[in-house]
Amino acid sequence: MTDTEAAAWWGTAVSRIEPDHIELRGIPVADLIGDITFGAMIWLMVRGDRPTARQASLLEAALVAGVDHGPHAPSIAVARMAATCGVGLNNAMASAVNTLGDSHGGAGQQCVELLDDILRAAATAPLADAADQVIAAWRARGVRYLPGFGHRFHTRDPRRDPLLGLVDQAVADGTVTGHHLKAALAVETALNRGRSRPVPMNIDGATAVIFAELGFPAALARGLFVLSRSVGILAHAWEEMGQGRRNKGPIPPAIRPAYLG
């Protein structure tokens, strides 16, 4: 065993750190500072290449849209409660980010997978039929709520239309192909057929369309959502710290949890 092996163990193409020299994805850090937006930097770091200005703008719109959904979201409530417990701001944020699991932060990832399934099926069938087939297959696997569609709180998620409007523009100017958008709209159509109450795309669906149109693999949809939601997590943790509670519980002290024993 030599240092070569230990060095190889930690080998990476993300960054190169030498004394007095830092390269990120092969670019000296001094060439990035002041030259690249934070949104474009996210793309560069995760994918290894620089986005065009239009690609970066579309990505940023998705990141902006997901920052917060208020204290009813477990991630936000956890951030606020943790912030009153005498831990660092980073620790409060970590406890919150940690809750963005399959149910709370994974719908975007799952929606990209759904759309990818549909596009594969659409290679040999009309898109509407492909959507029907894939939806039936997911239902057969026990999926009750299709990821990215419907909302327990909103009848129509107010983030859907502005996000899809931007995708329409991006299709029009050639930034993206629009294939995933069409697949997602086909799901909406299928879900709403014969229903009185529609089940429109939600934030996870609309951002999944954007991430997939931009070429991000499904698993990164969750990672990007974590970056987005971390902003709301920080804002809420910080506000809570200013309110001065100590060891804040989920309900006011005077309400006693029911005893079920």
Asked if residue 22 binds its own copies (CB under 8 A), the reply is yes
For its own copies, the closer CB: 142 or 257: 257
Distance between CA 140 and CA 148 in Å, rounded?
Answer: 18
Q: Are 246 and 84 in contact (CB under 8 A)?
A: yes
Give the three-state DSSP class for 85.
coil
Closest contact distance (angstroms) between CB of 109 and its own copies is: 8
Q: Which of 52, 53, 102, 172 binds its own copies (CB under 8 A)?
A: 102
Token pair, residue 176, equals 């993206």
Q: Does 99 bind its own copies (CB under 8 A)?
A: yes
What is the residue whose two structure tokens read 């995760």? 46
Site for its own copies (CB under 8 A): which residue of 159, 179, 180, 182?
159
Asked if residues 199 and 59 have their Cβ atoms less than 8 Å apart, the reply is: no
Distance CA 229, CA 238 (A): 14
The interface with its own copies within residues 193-252 (CB under 8 A) comprises: 219-220, 222-224, 226-227, 230-232, 234-239, 241, 246-252
20 binds its own copies (CB under 8 A): yes
Yes or no: say if 221 and 208 are a contact pair by the CB < 8 Å rule.
yes
Residue 22, classed as helix, strand or coil, is strand
Among 53, 136, 139, 158, contact with its own copies (rule: CB under 8 A): 158
Tokens 């954007």, residue located: 210
Within residues 48-67, the interface with its own copies by CB under 8 A covers 57, 60-61, 63-65, 67
Residue 138 makes contact with its own copies by CB under 8 A: no
Give 34 or 142: the residue with its C-beta nearer to its own copies.
Answer: 34
Q: Which of 141, 195, 197, 256 binds its own copies (CB under 8 A)?
A: 256
